[in-house]
């Protein structure tokens, strides 16, 4: 796929598709802990649109070394969207405002009983990042065009036939659910304008820890 320019047309396309295709957020079970992630659309030096991905530090107790979107658990009394912005500032030093919000995607329920709420932001001012060394090993921009490959989505056997493991190829790297589920739904809903649910996609064993 050709690179997508970071421009007003793309911004409106993403905003309108999310508003049209994503319904009200379900109420997670009281047994689920709440977490939020930020899917941030930002420009590269070339002027093409990209998203921000991090790699978690290898010494963390959970999800060590995995590729992830900025985000984390919501504090008591904090709403999910505010949690996504706070975690982004804490993890990579990027401050987002409410006006940067374009919409949201479906909540993804993980096997570790976490309800992940993904929010989509538009940031024209994401320059140099300041990753928190206690949580983030690297930060990189992934061109939106890289979300399209000839071999994905890759579905691997899960614990049941109804819940295959979702894997996406990003260049020479692979990424798995839950992050892959968020990216795949963003691609299909926000960019392509067609609703695709991802709740039935499972995580590999290593992504459940």
**What is the residue-wise DSSP string for 80-119?**
HHHHHHHHHHHHH-PPP-GGGEEEE---EE-TTSEEEEEE
pLDDT (mean) for 191-204 = 92
Q: What is the pLDDT of residues 101-160, one digit of tens each?
A: 999 999 999 888 899 999 999 999 767 788 888 889 899 999 999 998 756 687 777 777
Total number of domains constituting the chain: 1
Place of tokens 């941030």: 40
With beta carbons less than 8 A apart as the criterion, state whether 68 and 108 touch: no
With beta carbons less than 8 A apart as the criterion, state whether 180 and 165 touch: no
CA distance 95 to 129: 10
Burial annotation 110-143 (CB, 10 A radius, 16+ → b, else e): beeebbbbbbbbbbeebeebebeeebbeebebbb
Q: Is residue 3 part of a domain?
A: no
Place of tokens 């989509």: 120
Place of tokens 């930060």: 139
Query: What is the CATH number for 20?
Result: 3.90.79.10
- At residue 32, the pLDDT reads 80
Residues contacting residue 41 through CB under 8 Å, at least 6 positions apart:
6, 10, 11, 14, 49, 50, 51, 102, 120, 121, 122, 123, 144
Q: Is residue 19 part of a domain?
A: yes
With beta carbons less than 8 A apart as the criterion, state whether 75 and 149 touch: no
Note the residue count of the chain.
209
Q: Is residue 2 part of a domain?
A: no
Q: Is residue 56 part of a domain?
A: yes
**208: pLDDT strictly greater than 80:** no
pLDDT (mean) for 180-190 = 95
Q: Is residue 132 part of a domain?
A: yes
Peptide bond into 153 cis (omega under 30): yes
- At residue 70, the pLDDT reads 96
Q: Domain of 28?
A: 8-208
Q: Is residue 76 part of a domain?
A: yes
């Amino acid at each position: 796929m050709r690179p997508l320019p970071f421009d007003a047309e793309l911004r409106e396309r993403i905003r309108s598709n999310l508003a049209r295709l994503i319904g009200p957020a379900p109420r997670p079970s009281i047994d689920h802990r709440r977490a939020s992630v930020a899917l941030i659309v930002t420009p590269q030096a070339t002027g093409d649109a990209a998203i921000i991905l991090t790699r978690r530090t290898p010494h963390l107790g959970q999800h060590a070394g995995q590729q992830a979107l900025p985000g984390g658990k919501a504090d008591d009394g904090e709403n999910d969207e505010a949690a996504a912005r706070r975690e982004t500032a804490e993890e990579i030093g990027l401050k987002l405002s409410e006006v940067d919000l374009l919409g949201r995607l479906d909540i993804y329920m993980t096997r570790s009983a976490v309800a992940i709420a993904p929010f989509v932001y538009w940031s024209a001012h994401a320059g140099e990042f300041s990753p928190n060394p206690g949580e983030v090993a690297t930060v990189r921009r992934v061109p939106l065009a890289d979300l399209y490959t000839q071999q994905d989505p890759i579905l691997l056997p899960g614990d049941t036939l109804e819940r295959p493991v979702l894997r996406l190829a990003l260049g020479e790297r692979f990424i798995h659910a839950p992050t892959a589920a968020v990216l795949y739904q963003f691609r299909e809903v926000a960019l392509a304008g067609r609703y695709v649910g991802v709740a039935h996609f499972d995580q590999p064993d290593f992504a459940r820890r």
